[in-house]
Structure 1
């Protein structure tokens, strides 16, 4: 998708935002309304660098495009890894999920395609900030509902991503009922693909990019993550699963975002 496909696009003034932070509002054809994205491009990224990998970070229920930055300090994590561990420059695109109910699930609804928004339109909008991301490797990650979105969309569109990572993930849309007010029927889905991450990964098992996910040992979703890990093992689908101390909190996600970014850097180095 070309950035000119947006009927309207509004970009924040770099002089008025934190260094490297950009806010974008576009008229989304997929959602049939305006939608927001926060982009972070580390200051000092050399313009002569040909490749600028793009990491799409998906937020969880109740959140929006600013959550990874202003609750998870994603930009500070990336800056630290670049400074201390020589991580290559990476652009972060942090979109809203579309703001349906308590959370859209990044699924295709009858009234709005929250999947196409993430897969096609978010990268096109990020290219308005720096076009080098257009032909560079892309990665996807997320937390909770966003972890579900990352695992599921990455599995369904393996050709789009060089790596997939998730934290504290929901593994099936039905598990959102423990978090949201809306019922399953209210989702009014028009998605032809399975809702369970395992089934989506089985569809493209032979061509998945590298996959990792983790969960805190005190997280309310720990058993769902353990089950997904076991089922992927039984299906013979390569992946990395890790457990760390912690719960379903921003402290945990802030800490372990670094694991995702290191994982993506290793993917780039292969």
Structure 2
């Protein structure tokens, strides 16, 4: 008789892969809360498995999580079709070592997650498993219920789709990112429009996600002048703190002691080119703690 996964050894095996499973689910869903639910569902299934029948525990668990996430993603897609205003992924406050893994940080960045939203569910799963986690085509085929040949075609199509929609990213050193973020934070805190205009790109884009629950722009705010005017009124109403958001620079805005907004800041060539501000309270409920993500 093989050991069932409810045992100590299997519990340890699941915990060893838990951060990886969360990352897979989060990159597929763009929601930390839903990713946590998927990982919990995977644990419940794992607890009933005969370990003697599992040759590759990592591949087995990734397969379970992928299938669960695919089912949930289709439901989430229908909800997002009626979402009020821009939809942004649920922000993660990430640990320092995530930023040190450039590929991982890029894959969980808000900008990348928004591009992943434009893929069909199966394409998204294949892209994430192949490009981010480097799984073999056979493993991916088992996870998504397709043949290895079909998965190769899907992966090729997804790569081309992402490349066509993705804005090339200029390399920014951690020191440069910290410098720009600190100056940007100071400009917002003081409402210094001249300083702000010197830090944001002419074609900067600000997306605000209020989910129809709190006040937020219902369409993208584009251009340095318009974005600066929006940001100029923040400092007097809220306190700002630097943070690592989705593997990169960001700010946490607090009002009355509570978190009001979590903003991811995209920096290219020494200028802020993108701002992603999540205000929807439903997406901020678990932001208070850092989240471990792993490849």
Q: TM-score, normalised by structure 2?
A: 0.27
Higher helix share: 2
Larger RCO, structure (CA 8 Å, separation 6 or more):
2
Larger Rg: 2
Q: TM-score, normalised by structure 1?
A: 0.29
